[in-house]
Structure 1
Amino acid sequence: MADIQSTQAAAPAIIRRADYRVPDWLIPDIALDFDLDAARTRVWSDMSVARNGDHDRPLRLDGDGLVPLAVKVDGRTLNETEWTLEAGALVVPLGGATHKVEVLVELAPESNSKLMGLYASGGLLCTQCEAEGFRRITFFPDRPDILSRYSVKLTADKARYPILLANGDPVEQGDLEGGRHWALWNDPFPKPCYLFALVAGDLACNADRFVTMSGREVALGIWVREADLPRTDHAMQALKNSMAWDERVYGREYDLDVFNIVAVADFNFGAMENKGLNIFNSRYILADPETATDIDYDGVEGVVAHEYFHNWSGNRVTCRDWFQLSLKEGFTVFRDQNFSADMGSHAVKRIEDVRILRAAQFQEDSGPLAHPVRPESYMEISNFYTATIYNKGAELIRMMALMLGAERFRAGTDLYFDRHDGEAATCEDFVRAMEEGGEIDLGQFRRWYEQAGTPHVRALLSHDPVSRTAELLLEQSVPPTPGQPDKRPMAIPLRVALYDPATGSHHGDELLMLTEAQQRFTFDNFASLPILSINRGFSAPVIVETNRSQADLAFLSAHDDDPFARYEAMQQLMVNVLVGQVAGQSVDVSAVVDAVRNTITDPLLDPAFVAEAVRLPSEAYLGDQMKQVDPDAIHAARDALQTRLGADLEPLWRDIHARTKANGFAVSPAAKGARKLRNVALLYLVASGADDGPAIAYGQFSDADNMTERQSALATLASGTSPEREAALDIFYNRYSDDALTLDKWFQTQAFAFHPDTVELVAELGQHKAFTLNNPNRVRSLYGAFAGNQWAFHHKSGKGYRLVADCIIALDKLNPQTAARLVPPLGRWKRFDEGRAALMRAELQRILNEPGLSKDVTEQASKSLEG
Structure 2
Amino acid sequence: MNDESRSTKFLKDYAPPDYLIKDVSLDVTLAPKGARIASLLSIEPNSSTVAGTPLVLDGDALRLESIALNGDDLEANRYTVTPGKLTITNPPVGPFTLDIVTLCDPEANTELSGLYLSNGTYCTQCEPEGFRRITYFVDRPDVLATYTVRIEADRETAPVLLSNGNPVESGAIEGTGRHYAVWHDPHPKPSYLFALVGGNLASIHDSFTTASGREVALGIYVEPGKEDRCDWAMESLKRAMRWDEERFGLEYDLDVFNIVAVSDFNMGAMENKGLNIFNDKLVLARPDTASDADYTSIESVIAHEYFHNWTGNRVTCRDWFQLCLKEGLTVFRDQEFTGDVRMGPVMRILTARLLKARQFPEDAGPLSHPVRPASYIEINNFYTATVYEKGAELCRMLQTLLGQDAFRNGIALYFERHDGEAATVENFVNAMADASGRDLSQFMRWYTQAGTPEIACSLDYDPHAKTARLRVNQVVPPTPGQGSKEPMHIPLKVGLIGANGDELPLKLKGELVPDGLLEVTEREQVFEFEDIPAPPTPSILRDFSAPVRVTTSLKPEQIEFLMIHDSDPFNRWQAAQTYATDLIASARGTGSTSARSARPRPAALRKAWSRPCATETLAPTYRAETLKLPSESDIARELGRNVDTDAILTARDTLRTNVSAAMADTLSEIYDTTATDGAFSPDPDSAGLRALRNAALDLMSATGTDEATDRALRHYRDATNMTDAITALSILSQIPSAARDEALADFYARWQDDPLVLDKWFAVQARAARPDSVETVHELLSHPKFSLKNPNRVRALIGSFAMANPSGFNRADGAGYRFLADQALKIDGFNPHVAARLLGAFESWKTLEPRRQALARAALQDLARQELSTDAYEIVTKTLGTA
TM more than 0.5: yes
The verdict on how the C-alpha distance between 1:404 and 1:730 changes in structure 2, with shifts beyond 3 A counting, is same
Give the match for residue 54 of structure 2.
58
Give the match for residue 561 of structure 2.
555
Give the match for residue 628 of structure 2.
615
After superposition, residues 405-420 of structure 1 pair within 5 angstroms as 405-420=403-418
- Tell me which moved more, 464-473 or 254-263: 464-473
After superposition, residues 448-487 of structure 1 pair within 5 angstroms as 448-487=446-485
Does the CA contact (< 8 Å) of 1:720 and 1:754 recur in 2? no
Distance in 2 (alpha carbons) for counterparts of 1:483 and 1:656: 52
After superposition, residues 549-588 of structure 1 pair within 5 angstroms as 549-583=555-589, 587=597
Give the match for residue 509 of structure 2.
none
SS at structure 2 position matched to 1:520 = strand
> Which one of 53, 63, 67 corresponds to residue 67 of structure 1?
63
Matched, 1:520 2:517: no
Distance in 1 (alpha carbons) for counterparts of 2:605 and 2:425: 44
> Which one of 846, 863, 869 corresponds to residue 830 of structure 1?
846
Distance in 2 (alpha carbons) for counterparts of 1:827 and 1:565: 29
Give the match for residue 735 of structure 1.
750
Matched, 1:116 2:127: no
Give the match for residue 547 of structure 2.
541
- C-alpha offsets along residues 298-337 of structure 1, whole Å, 9 cap, x if unaligned? 0000000000000000000000000000000000000000
Distance in 2 (alpha carbons) for counterparts of 1:723 and 1:80: 72
SS at structure 2 position matched to 1:657 = helix
Distance in 2 (alpha carbons) for counterparts of 1:816 and 1:621: 29
The verdict on how the C-alpha distance between 1:362 and 1:8 changes in structure 2, with shifts beyond 3 A counting, is farther
Does the CA contact (< 8 Å) of 1:207 and 1:220 recur in 2? yes
> Which residue identity does 1:818 align to in structure 2?
V
> Which residue identity does 2:446 align to in structure 1?
W
Give the match for residue 152 of structure 1.
149
Give the match for residue 214 of structure 2.
216
> Which one of 706, 713, 728 corresponds to residue 698 of structure 1?
713
After superposition, residues 290-439 of structure 1 pair within 5 angstroms as 290-439=288-437
Give the match for residue 506 of structure 1.
504
Does the CA contact (< 8 Å) of 2:141 and 2:191 recur in 1? yes
> Which residue identity does 1:861 align to in structure 2?
V
Does the CA contact (< 8 Å) of 2:300 and 2:335 recur in 1? yes
Residue segments in structure 1 that go unaligned for 5+ positions in a row:
1-6
Per-residue deviation at 1:59?
0.9
Give the match for residue 512 of structure 2.
none
> Which residue identity does 1:616 align to in structure 2?
L
After superposition, residues 716-795 of structure 1 pair within 5 angstroms as 716-788=731-803, 789-795=805-811
Matched, 1:657 2:671: yes
Distance in 1 (alpha carbons) for counterparts of 2:197 and 2:49: 40
Does the CA contact (< 8 Å) of 2:328 and 2:390 recur in 1? yes
- Tell me which moved more, 417-426 or 831-840: 831-840
> Which residue identity does 1:443 align to in structure 2?
S
Per-residue deviation at 1:39?
1.7
Give the match for residue 15 of structure 1.
9
Distance in 1 (alpha carbons) for counterparts of 2:503 and 2:494: 14
Give the match for residue 837 of structure 2.
821
Count of aligned pairs? 860
Give the match for residue 4 of structure 1.
none
SS at structure 1 position matched to 2:78 = coil
Distance in 1 (alpha carbons) for counterparts of 2:153 and 2:718: 48
- C-alpha offsets along residues 160-202 of structure 1, whole Å, 9 cap, x if unaligned? 0000000000001111122000111000000000000000001
Distance in 2 (alpha carbons) for counterparts of 1:125 and 1:503: 61
The verdict on how the C-alpha distance between 1:688 and 1:441 changes in structure 2, with shifts beyond 3 A counting, is same
SS at structure 2 position matched to 1:580 = helix
Distance in 1 (alpha carbons) for counterparts of 2:328 and 2:182: 34
Per-residue deviation at 1:259?
0.3
Does the CA contact (< 8 Å) of 1:647 and 1:689 recur in 2? no
Give the match for residue 3 of structure 1.
none
Per-residue deviation at 1:142?
0.4
Distance in 2 (alpha carbons) for counterparts of 1:438 and 1:96: 45
Give the match for residue 843 of structure 1.
859
Return structure 1 stretches of 4+ with deviation > 6 angstroms.
Answer: 7-11
Q: Please give the TM-score of this superposition, normalised by the length of structure 2.
A: 0.96
- Tell me which moved more, 626-635 or 472-481: 626-635
The verdict on how the C-alpha distance between 1:425 and 1:658 changes in structure 2, with shifts beyond 3 A counting, is same
Does the CA contact (< 8 Å) of 1:66 and 1:88 recur in 2? no
Matched, 1:39 2:33: yes
SS at structure 2 position matched to 1:287 = coil
Give the match for residue 670 of structure 1.
685
> Which one of 1, 25, 50 corresponds to residue 19 of structure 2?
25
Give the match for residue 602 of structure 1.
615
Does the CA contact (< 8 Å) of 1:805 and 1:843 recur in 2? yes
Distance in 2 (alpha carbons) for counterparts of 1:147 and 1:429: 18
> Which residue identity does 1:855 align to in structure 2?
T
Per-residue deviation at 1:827?
3.1
- C-alpha offsets along residues 22-80 of structure 1, whole Å, 9 cap, x if unaligned? 01000000100011011211000100100112413111110112231101001111232
Does the CA contact (< 8 Å) of 2:704 and 2:735 recur in 1? no
Distance in 1 (alpha carbons) for counterparts of 2:629 and 2:49: 63
SS at structure 2 position matched to 1:39 = coil
Per-residue deviation at 1:10?
8.8
Give the match for residue 510 of structure 2.
none
> Which one of 100, 103, 106 corresponds to residue 103 of structure 1?
100
SS at structure 2 position matched to 1:81 = helix
Matched, 1:90 2:89: no
SS at structure 2 position matched to 1:113 = coil
After superposition, residues 708-723 of structure 1 pair within 5 angstroms as 708-723=723-738
Does the CA contact (< 8 Å) of 2:504 and 2:532 recur in 1? no
Does the CA contact (< 8 Å) of 2:471 and 2:527 recur in 1? yes
Does the CA contact (< 8 Å) of 1:8 and 1:862 recur in 2? no
After superposition, residues 798-813 of structure 1 pair within 5 angstroms as 798-813=814-829
Query: What's the Cα RMSD here?
Result: 1.3
Per-residue deviation at 1:503?
4.9
Give the match for residue 134 of structure 1.
131
- C-alpha offsets along residues 540-560 of structure 1, whole Å, 9 cap, x if unaligned? 000000001111111111011
Does the CA contact (< 8 Å) of 1:206 and 1:221 recur in 2? yes
> Which one of 76, 80, 96 corresponds to residue 80 of structure 1?
76
- C-alpha offsets along residues 692-721 of structure 1, whole Å, 9 cap, x if unaligned? 111111111111111011000000000111
Give the match for residue 537 of structure 2.
531
The verdict on how the C-alpha distance between 1:9 and 1:421 changes in structure 2, with shifts beyond 3 A counting, is closer
> Which residue identity does 1:749 align to in structure 2?
V
Per-residue deviation at 1:243?
0.4
Does the CA contact (< 8 Å) of 2:614 and 2:623 recur in 1? no
Per-residue deviation at 1:527?
3.3
SS at structure 2 position matched to 1:72 = strand
Does the CA contact (< 8 Å) of 2:18 and 2:49 recur in 1? no
Distance in 2 (alpha carbons) for counterparts of 1:504 and 1:761: 53
Give the match for residue 869 of structure 2.
854
Distance in 2 (alpha carbons) for counterparts of 1:88 and 1:857: 19
Q: Please give the TM-score of this superposition, normalised by the length of structure 1.
A: 0.98
> Which residue identity does 1:770 align to in structure 2?
K
> Which residue identity does 2:442 align to in structure 1?
Q
> Which residue identity does 2:657 align to in structure 1?
T
Per-residue deviation at 1:439?
1.5
